[in-house]
Amino acid sequence: MSGRRKAIVTDMGYSTPDRIVVRGHDLPGELLGRIHLGDMAFLELMGRMPSHRESVLFNALAVTLVEHGLTPSALAARLTYSGAPESIQAAVAAGLNGLGSVFVGTTEGSARLLQEAIPDARHPPPDLPAVAAGIVADWRARGAAIPGIGHPLHKPIDPRTPRLFALAAENGFDGPYIALMKQVAEEAARVYGKLLPINATGAIGACCSELGISWRACRGIGVFARAIGLVGHIMEEMHNPIARELWTRAEDEAREHALARRDGA
Amino acid sequence: MSGRRKAIVTDMGYSTPDRIVVRGHDLPGELLGRIHLGDMAFLELMGRMPSHRESVLFNALAVTLVEHGLTPSALAARLTYSGAPESIQAAVAAGLNGLGSVFVGTTEGSARLLQEAIPDARHPPPDLPAVAAGIVADWRARGAAIPGIGHPLHKPIDPRTPRLFALAAENGFDGPYIALMKQVAEEAARVYGKLLPINATGAIGACCSELGISWRACRGIGVFARAIGLVGHIMEEMHNPIARELWTRAEDEAREHALARRDGA
Amino acid sequence: MSGRRKAIVTDMGYSTPDRIVVRGHDLPGELLGRIHLGDMAFLELMGRMPSHRESVLFNALAVTLVEHGLTPSALAARLTYSGAPESIQAAVAAGLNGLGSVFVGTTEGSARLLQEAIPDARHPPPDLPAVAAGIVADWRARGAAIPGIGHPLHKPIDPRTPRLFALAAENGFDGPYIALMKQVAEEAARVYGKLLPINATGAIGACCSELGISWRACRGIGVFARAIGLVGHIMEEMHNPIARELWTRAEDEAREHALARRDGA
Amino acid sequence: MSGRRKAIVTDMGYSTPDRIVVRGHDLPGELLGRIHLGDMAFLELMGRMPSHRESVLFNALAVTLVEHGLTPSALAARLTYSGAPESIQAAVAAGLNGLGSVFVGTTEGSARLLQEAIPDARHPPPDLPAVAAGIVADWRARGAAIPGIGHPLHKPIDPRTPRLFALAAENGFDGPYIALMKQVAEEAARVYGKLLPINATGAIGACCSELGISWRACRGIGVFARAIGLVGHIMEEMHNPIARELWTRAEDEAREHALARRDGA
């Protein structure tokens, strides 16, 4: 055996016979009944309790990400539940597995863009419009869509964005990341000659940046928020199932096409 | 094609170009900045907003379930992250997959026991001690452990239980389910002749029942709460990894044993 | 620390700088180019190489379980892929999560029924029709569907069953488990007064039992076989995607219903 | 509703009351008893049956990927099983979720590198050493490890590589991709001044390329192969569990450190 090179250490929590400690706090004595779930999530991610103003904005971001109706993720969770109703945890997990580069995971894209442009919020670059112009030119040259702007459905604006930015402003988080995100959207609209409003993804990435949350953690917020939404969908699926109907329709249509092709149609 | 037998309908939410509706509420206008994440979870599960008292108890239940240190579920998530760091959603999902009949999923056991004994909270059976005696006798006859009592580590009491029951009492939820859970624990201690305190599982099952949450939804609360904790573990794993150390130790020890056996040791 | 109570040992395999050993065999020297994937699966499950006859039947069982078209599991995998195309492993995993008590996992039901009725294949009970009658009466009394018989689509027979039983007979595996499965189906048809042919699940459970595979391993065969099928579906989804269409249809239909209800329709 | 823009079509398979068709073949009549599981996998991936020579090499590649002992993936599956033993499909899925950019998923890296350098195997570039030099220079300039070469344990050679290349040669697949992989390894050794042998990942990527398998499908082969191995690990975990021991050790060590820090040690 090659020996222990590294200790197994965690700051998340531990238990003894009479105590349960989470992030340095006594769970029953200091947390239960004193903080709600959203602030517990902040504590888990950041290792400290949020201020009231941080709590308002952080909870708003998380609430935004909980529920989006019949997304591919919700459909996957419901289809999985229909095959293994004894394992609702696995149905939620199936739904989470799809939160990658296309959906939800995208919040990290806009946060990363902003945090790479402004590594230190206390010393933002003086000329944000120039920074924005550089970003837009760079993404355009690579032929890639700029994260955080544009939406296939929500036009001319994404209704979540002004509300989140208003909450940020009311709570003192109207800083350089939100300013830069707005500059990027304006510049992109000018360069591409079309409306490219900041979508919820962009608003959340900017607000997370203002809260000092690393872009690497942004996807995580979407993951746990959506876990709540997926539990909701599975509860509904118990009482008002749609998975079998989705399955039957897909299977029937595919069979019809297969038989038609077989018969030379 | 066999035709549409059933409409695809959901009450969870939907979007139009200018609106996002969740559980009947306008997301930006009515929810963002007004409710925190725990109440959003209540809304998702129950289809209505919680009262203040419901909110306090529901959030306490959920907060209880977020973090338990280096559980098998947390270890599985960290090991998964070490192989696919680009997919933190999949690492969380791997951790959730283990929340089955042995861990977390067990909250549904005590809730079910209580809700089957008291189908209607407005008309609880008059003689709860007799009901408890029947329950203990029944589980004993089947040779099965009664859900919600006893704990391998937390002795003589599980410190979460008195706190949760105190919160229930303070908020007007000290009803027949909690009373029955206490009777079951007392009766079991008497019959088995050993300390069998109500554990967090039992306390949560009883509190959920007082809140009118079906036992079928109890596991779901554990699932989304733990999703928060698993995101926390993965954030820590990014900065202070332990997965490779766990792997190397296990692999080295197994190799050592295998070589010893091969060499006739 | 409470000390090491148990060694970390495995018989599955280990590596040294110049060797890779799997189930006691040198992987490059003894396995690569000498056994195909199905026999490798037998080796993994049973700890020994199959005979030629075992190989034929075992591979036929596994091949049966690979592909069933657009099942809920395949749809869940495709929907997951659409959100996280960079993680096809997670899409396959999402599909596998649904192989529970309703689909695929059911193979273990018929195998368990047979193996509990005939614990030792060398000493089967002399009167199989009486055993079958007891089984049917027992499941009927519990109001539960007997695993392994009946099929919603494949009527009057499941075309896989005669083929699998023929392969079993050709290879010397036409023993008491298959005989009992047939008796159960006959008795059930008599008692329920309708056609209840042995389905693929029942045939596979019986054949596994003949091969000496524990019912506890049967679901595992379905799991890895279906993993192959799910990879196939995801490869097809890359080139001919259907997930977005499924999503859009579901979302559009749900929105239409929601708006109609909102408008008092 | 926005109408049907796209038909739901699949070539994977479909069923009618008396037929089950997989990839255009009648499952009972043409496949069961005639092909083994590895060739079924080839059929699923490629849409056609393999030749005998293709079968030998393809099965060897897949067999290589089945079992690697106590990997992070196997540990995650075992830990998940310990919490949800009723859902072995979810334990396998948890293990698969970790087959990303660090493990197993890496086969696609070497295949991609080779296939991008030689888009058409019938017209390979004439000067492979020059192509290899370009590849090595390019990866070096980016400061990234070249996929498919080097191994932390298997030195001086990975014992799987010569065996796979011998099987390729014996079966007529000793073409430009394997030649280029060898050139890349030689050039890298020269440039970096250290031994950088082709590892199994590189050998598999090269052999897949020779077989005409797109790099996009390579990870899929690892996924289904490892699913077989994970089922094996879970079967062993049933009889000889190690998950609880891994958990207890980790939890005990973490608690010890946490208490020591709390006490100012």
Instruction: Give the pLDDT confidence of B134-175 residue by residue, as tens digits.
Output: 999 999 999 999 999 998 888 889 999 999 999 999 999 999
Of B20, B36, B167, the CB nearest to A36: B36
Domain housing B46: 11-50
| pLDDT value at residue D265 | 59
Domain boundary among C186, C204, C222: C204
Which candidate in D37, D52, D54 is best for mutational testing of the C interface (most C CBs within 10 A)? D37
Total domains in the fold of chain D: 1
Q: Which subunits have 3 or more CB–CB pairs within 8 Å of chain B? A: A, C, D
Please indicate, yes or no, if residue A81 is contained in any of the structural domains. Answer: yes
Q: Tell me which chain D residue has its CA closest to the CA of residue C250.
A: D1
Which positions ≥6 away from D233 have C-beta within 8 Å? Answer: C10, C12, D74, D77, D78, D95
Please indicate, yes or no, if residue B59 is contained in any of the structural domains. Answer: yes
**pLDDT confidence of A2, banded at 50, 70, 90?**
very low
CA angle C164, C189, A85 (to 5 degrees): 70
Q: Which subunits have 3 or more CB–CB pairs within 8 Å of chain A? A: B, C, D
Q: Tell me which chain A residue has its CA closest to the CA of residue D250.
A: A8
Residues B122 and B204 in one domain: yes
Q: Are D129 and D180 in contact (CB under 8 A)?
A: no
Percent of chain B scoring above 70 in pLDDT: 98
Residues B218 and B249 in one domain: yes
C-alpha pair distances (Å), C222 with each of A95, A102, C177: 22, 30, 19
Residues B76 and B28 in one domain: no
Which candidate in C68, C80, C106, C261 is best for mutational testing of the A interface (most A CBs within 10 A)? C80
| pLDDT value at residue D174 | 95
DSSP structure class, residue D16: E
Please indicate, yes or no, if residue A5 is contained in any of the structural domains. Answer: no
Is the per-residue pLDDT at C264 higher than 90? no
The residue written with tokens 């079906």 in the block is: B214
Q: Are B107 and A88 in contact (CB under 8 A)?
A: no
Joined together, the tokens standing for residue D171 give 């079966």
**For C101-119, what is the mean pLDDT?**
91
pLDDT tens digits, residue range A118-148? 999 999 999 999 999 999 999 999 999 999 9
Please indicate, yes or no, if residue D25 is contained in any of the structural domains. Answer: no
Determine if the pTM surpasses 0.80. Answer: yes
Residues B136 and B178 in one domain: yes
Please indicate, yes or no, if residue A198 is contained in any of the structural domains. Answer: yes
Residues A189 and A92 in one domain: no
Domain boundary among C204, C236, C254: C204
- C19-22 vs C13-16, strand pairing mode: antiparallel
Number of CB pairs, chain A paired with chain C, less than 8 A apart: 141
Q: Residue B219 is part of a domain; what is its CATH number? A: 1.10.230.10
Q: Are D89 and C223 in contact (CB under 8 A)?
A: yes
C-alpha pair distances (Å), D239 with each of B69, C11, D227: 27, 11, 19
Please indicate, yes or no, if residue C129 is contained in any of the structural domains. Answer: yes
C-alpha pair distances (Å), A51 with each of A43, A47, A54, A178, A252: 11, 13, 5, 20, 55
The Cα–Cα gap between B178 and B165 comes to 8
Residues of A in contact with B39 (CB under 8 A): 36
C-alpha dihedral, D84 to D89 to D95 to D96, nearest 10°: -150
Domain boundary among C160, C179, C204: C204
Please indicate, yes or no, if residue B4 is contained in any of the structural domains. Answer: no
Please indicate, yes or no, if residue A64 is contained in any of the structural domains. Answer: no
C-alpha dihedral, B242 to B247 to B253 to B256, nearest 10°: -140
One digit per residue, the tens of pLDDT, for chain D of length 265 reads 445 579 999 999 999 999 999 999 999 999 999 999 999 999 999 999 999 999 999 999 999 999 999 999 999 999 999 999 999 999 999 999 999 988 877 789 999 999 999 999 999 999 999 999 999 999 999 999 999 999 888 888 999 999 999 999 999 999 999 999 999 999 999 999 998 999 999 999 999 999 999 999 999 999 999 999 999 999 999 999 999 999 999 999 999 999 999 888 5
What is the 3-class SS of C164-214, one letter each residue?
HHHHHHHCCCCCHHHHHHHHHHHHHHHHHCCCCCECHHHHHHHHHHHCCCC
The residue written with tokens 């399955």 in the block is: A247
